[in-house]
Amino acid sequence: MNKKRLLRKKAVDLRTKGYTYSEIQKKLGIRIAKSKLSYWCNKVILPGWYKSKVDKINKNSLKKARLIALDINKIKREKYLSLLKEKNSHLIKKIDVSQQKLLLSVLYLGEGAKYGRSSTLSLGSSSAFIIKFYLKLLKNCYFIDDSKFRVRIQCRFDQNIRKLEDYWEKVTKIDRKQFYPTYIDKRTQGKPTLKKDYMGVCTIHYFSKEIQIELIFLADAIIKKII
């Protein structure tokens, strides 16, 4: 039997055992066109489990492709963020106290309590980042008396109140004695919290109607100037 016939016989035998064309090439240690393998093996009756095997291979291949795509997207995102940082770094360096006050006013306009609804400066968020940012801007722009702060936490029925209060005390660095009783939303009873990292909403109150009025005035002035 010549080499070509021997090679064909080996390929057919492997195919009969349920080997894929890629596995056959690897097993034989030679690259053979899949069209040729298909021709050689066109009369082979495959094992009953072969389809399940191929489905599993395809599933794993799809999983690998997704992981590769995620890696590629991550690299693209990192490059994009790097370009944004380079493009805008000069703007960050120029932020002085007066510009911070403008940022604070716009933040308060979006997240804070407005006229008529509160006699205090009040801003709430579920984001620790926003709360820290707000407190930092507030202290950079105004002379702040820490004793005038009050904190109110709003949470879902199934959440651990002590854990939430510990968390927001660390975030705000405001004494626990200045926390109002935590408000539990009774409408959420029987509805499990799906987001495990959800730590409720923290509202920072500060007894200063004057700062509230000034911030809203500044935000309105900015908007009117732009539009």
Residue 55 belongs to a domain: no
Residue 185 belongs to a domain: yes
Residue 215 belongs to a domain: yes
The answer to whether the beta carbons of residues 9 and 1 sit under 8 Å apart is yes
The pLDDT tens digits for 77-113 are 888 888 888 888 877 777 888 899 999 999 998 888 8
Are 102 and 210 found together in one domain? Answer: yes
Residue 41 belongs to a domain: yes
Cα–Cα dist 133/31, whole Å: 61
Number of domain units in the chain: 2
Prediction pTM value: 0.66
**Residue in 135, 78, 10, 227 with CA at minimum distance from that of residue 219:** 227
Are 131 and 20 found together in one domain? Answer: no
Domain coverage including residue 195: 97-226
The pLDDT tens digits for 23-73 are 878 887 878 888 887 877 788 778 888 788 878 888 888 888 888 888 888
Are 33 and 102 found together in one domain? Answer: no
Residues near 161 by beta carbon (within 8 Å), at least 6 away in sequence? 153, 155, 182, 184
Residue 61 belongs to a domain: no
Residue 219 belongs to a domain: yes
Cα–Cα dist 200/179, whole Å: 14
